[in-house]
Amino acid sequence: MNALSDLRQCPDVATLKPALHTLAGQFGRVTRLDILTTMHERTKQAICFLRLDHPEKEQALMRTLGVGRFGGEVIIVVDMDASVATKDDGPSSRWAEFEDDE
């Protein structure tokens, strides 16, 4: 499955969120999706914490993508296709919240 490779093509959280929602939605209803973006050694990463409506569906998602669980949530780490052109001021991070409209 090239799903994780496809996610790496997302340049920002605004495009990553719907892509993750669509991908995870193939396994069940997404009940929570939090994304923490970080910058480390000029590589932008998105650490995605998500929950589906049933644990069995989360297990299927984890098996298919080869990802794990952290603190009860499925975790997916995506190296995003973005680099920093300015000097590196050290690691930084921020949260991007997902609002469930359903």
Helix (H, G, I), strand (E, B) or coil at 30: strand
Residue 102 lies in a domain: no
Average of per-residue pLDDT values in the chain: 83
Low-confidence ranges of the chain (pLDDT < 50): 83-88, 91, 102
Q: pTM score, two decimals?
A: 0.75
Q: Tell me the CATH number at 46.
A: 3.30.70
pLDDT tens digits along 2-15: 788 889 888 889 99
Tell me the C-alpha distance between 80 and 44, whole Å.
5
* 22-33 pLDDT, tens digit each: 999 999 999 999
Q: Exposed e or buried b for every residue in 37-60, given b needs 16+ CB within 10 A?
A: bebeeeebbbbbbbbbeeeebbee
**Segments forming the whole domain that contains residue 47:** 3-97
In a domain, 46, yes or no: yes
User: Is 32 part of any domain?
Assistant: yes
Total domains in the chain come to 1
**Residue 20 belongs to some domain of the structure:** yes
Q: How many Cβ atoms sit within 10 Å of the Cβ of residue 8?
A: 14
Residue 59 within a domain: yes
